A and B are shown apart, each in its own frame.
Chain A
Amino acid sequence: MGRLKTLVRNEAGTPPLAGGHSLCQGCGVPLVVRVVLDSITTPKVVINATGCLEVATTRYPTTAWNVPWLHVAFENAAAAASGVESAYRALRKQGRLADELTFVVFAGDGGTYDIGLQALSGALERGHRFVFVCYDNEAYMNTGIQRSGATPFGASTTTSPAGLESFGKAQQRKDMTAIAVAHHIPYVAQAAGSFWHDLSVKVEQAAAASGPAFLNVLSDCPLGWGHDAKLGPEVGRLAVETRFWPLYDVVDGAYRLTHDVPKPRPVAEWLRPQARFAHLFRDGGERLVAEIQRRVDDDWSSLVARCAAQR
């Protein structure tokens, strides 16, 4: 458990993200932020998209951040980070900056999959060296649980509500991790806040990468998912153990499962504790649960094939 000791040591004294912020009880995001920042050994600079994390940690004139932190807007975190990283390279080249720094971008799924996708794609293509962390809680939680490109099929949100004529979101979620891989960047990984050890190892690799790194990290939202606050880590574990959210990384294009799930639990076990899927367990929902299971199985097979192809 050397890694845990390192994380604890890095949290001691002046933690990068201090307590006292106003993120909800049971929110998975601060756990992700702390594991990410505590796993990086160099001094860090954080660039944050508009969203829950930004709003809950920086109400003027207070701040929960003990590291240099920048927020510009919602859709442009990767572009702002491009500017910061370019400034860093310019100043280093001129000998005006001695420190080796790691740039970490935090954005939610809205700021990554949807409104932030163009800026992210541009930055990945240009090769800016930063670690982009999407804390993916599968909807626009900050504005009150609206569906996003990351919201899974069948989830009820305030803009895709389940009702007599609706079973919630009718479309599949985007495969954002695959989109990142398509940019041919040196490191891409899918992780979950509930698997902190796996996440921490990936952060270390991401920070050491020679170019941009992208981490898509599943993070629970008790309010938006509709589960008991104390069940956050448990729900996050079920996402992985049902193969709904596989943990893997892609190093220079080579896929690797970082947490095999040889005996998956039925996807219904991940869906059931969450109120956003409650309508799937009423009359007529079996068909939809079966549909979700089929897609989870297909996605897993295709991921395993990609991993095997590169052995």
Chain B
Amino acid sequence: MTVLTSAKLLTGGEAVAHAMRQVNPDVVPVYPITPQTPIIETFAKLAAAGLADAEIVNVESEHSAMSAAVGAALAGARTMTATSSQGLALMAEVVYIAASMRAPVVMAVGNRALSGPINIHCDHSDAMLVRDSGCVQLFAQDAQEAYDLMVMAPRIAERGDVLLPVLVGLDGFTVTHLAEPVELLPDEAVREFVGEYSIPHSLLGGDVTTHGPFAMPDSYFELKVGQARALDCALHAFAEVAHEFAELSGRKLGVLDAYRLEDAGRAIVLLGSTAGTVKDVVDELRAQEEEVGVLAIRSFRPFPRGEIRAALEWLDEAAVLDRALSPGAFAPLYAEIAAATYNTDLHLRSHVYGLGGRDLLPEHIRAVFAGTAPDFPGLRWDA
């Protein structure tokens, strides 16, 4: 058992706020929304106590939060913010623009169901809304990962070959509000790890620059392809930053988290905090000699399709658990896993679970592994 020497009991939201305090961004535009609000409240409290220097901009909407974030980041200031659900939906227009303008904003997303009906609880439909925005999208499994990814995020976002927003997803309530022991790095170590903020041609850097011109058919295509290539670069960036972070913290985070997968025949593939419950069930089934494992995806964008294929292609069976619907089509993660493992012998199944905060219990996971979860949890399609 690991002995946590410097662990504090923190909720995921508080852990994110402490990561922000230690990164010490220059500008933090904020707008409240459940279940993200504890992040900005905690950060505001830390700043009010003189523990962070940021200019906190209390904007009048999430649309303005991301707009101000783009302005600040391109002006030459390290910028972080947080949102959830409807807030992400409202700012979605500007999330796309932030990526296209190559603004390295870091944003925590307390994942929550989208209206309607209105529901404040966890699912991943908000994240899926912006999956094609061109931002890096990471999913944390617990408060510790949320903290770690928020410390790593500025480094990934600000790399010269990436320069893109990074969205760190943490499941609403399950992670944002649940107190867990979280190991914080020393403040100076984080400051040194993230370094000085510097982007090329910042608006206030003395260059005469034109940011955000309009593009006609003769250039739009190339600009979008360039942006997509930058997102691809984030895979390598993640690996490099994770390597340095591991040296600093002793915690090694990959773009994937494969748990007891090396000798498994069957696996569950998923995003976010449910991985913890699935790992518990895997341990229990392993004790009964069942060859089961988990593949949790940390980097949803860029999607590490090669690594996913390598991790899954030799399995007999995998069930993809999606916490979002794509009405009229396959569930989003399932569709991507199916594409990544195309032309292998892997038998894939798709389950949608946990919409609007519906609990997924160990017995449901056991049923998924047993192949006896035809209509529950949620919906199921056989490929």
Binding site for B on A (CB under 8 A): 45, 47, 54-55, 58-63, 65-73, 75-76, 78-84, 86-91, 93-94, 96-97, 99, 101, 118-119, 121-123, 125-126
From B27, B210, B212, B219, A83 is in contact (CB under 8 Å) with B27
Expressed in whole angstroms, the minimum distance between the Cβ of A141 and any Cβ of chain B is: 16
From A54, A84, A97, A118, B61 is in contact (CB under 8 Å) with A118
Pairwise interchain contact A91-B210, C-beta atoms closer than 8 A = no
Pairwise interchain contact A60-B27, C-beta atoms closer than 8 A = no
Expressed in whole angstroms, the minimum distance between the Cβ of B324 and any Cβ of chain A is: 26
- 5 smallest beta-carbon distances between A and B, as pairs: A83-B71, A122-B60, A83-B68, A87-B77, A79-B64
Digitize B103-132: 1 where CB-to-A-CB distance is under 8 Å, 0 elsewhere.
Answer: 000000000000000000000000000000
- Residues of chain B lying within 8 A (CB to CB) of residue A80: 67-68, 70-71
Pairwise interchain contact B77-A63, C-beta atoms closer than 8 A = no
Digitize B198-232: 1 where CB-to-A-CB distance is under 8 Å, 0 elsewhere.
Answer: 00000110111111111110010001000000000
Provide a sorted-by-A list of 9 A–B residue pairs whose CB atoms are within 8 angstroms.
Answer: A68-B203, A72-B67, A72-B97, A83-B57, A83-B67, A94-B26, A97-B76, A99-B204, A122-B59
From B57, B97, B208, B210, A58 is in contact (CB under 8 Å) with B210
Q: Does B359 contact A (CB under 8 A)?
A: no
Determine the distance from Cα of A67 to Cα of B60 in the docked complex, in whole angstroms: 29
Determine the distance from Cα of A281 to Cα of B79 in the docked complex, in whole angstroms: 56
Pairwise interchain contact A76-B94, C-beta atoms closer than 8 A = yes
Instruction: Give 14 new A-B contacts, CB below 8 A, not counting A76-B67, A79-B71, A83-B79.
Output: A63-B213, A76-B63, A80-B67, A81-B71, A84-B74, A87-B26, A87-B73, A87-B75, A87-B76, A87-B77, A89-B55, A91-B26, A118-B60, A126-B59
- Residues of chain A lying within 8 A (CB to CB) of residue B101: 72
Pairwise interchain contact A86-B77, C-beta atoms closer than 8 A = yes
From A47, A58, A82, B59 is in contact (CB under 8 Å) with A82
Determine the distance from Cα of A126 to Cα of B203 in the docked complex, in whole angstroms: 22
Pairwise interchain contact A83-B60, C-beta atoms closer than 8 A = no
Q: Does B284 contact A (CB under 8 A)?
A: no
- Residues of chain A lying within 8 A (CB to CB) of residue B203: 45, 68, 70, 84
Expressed in whole angstroms, the minimum distance between the Cβ of B231 and any Cβ of chain A is: 20
With A54-B214, A60-B223 already in contact, the answer to whether A73 and B68 are too (CB < 8 A) is: no
Q: Does B312 contact A (CB under 8 A)?
A: no
- Residues of chain A lying within 8 A (CB to CB) of residue B211: 68-71
Pairwise interchain contact B213-A119, C-beta atoms closer than 8 A = no
Expressed in whole angstroms, the minimum distance between the Cβ of A179 and any Cβ of chain B is: 15
Determine the distance from Cα of A196 to Cα of B324 in the docked complex, in whole angstroms: 57
- Residues of chain B lying within 8 A (CB to CB) of residue A69: 209-211
| Residue of A84, A89, A119, A121 most packed against chain B (CB within 10 A) | A84
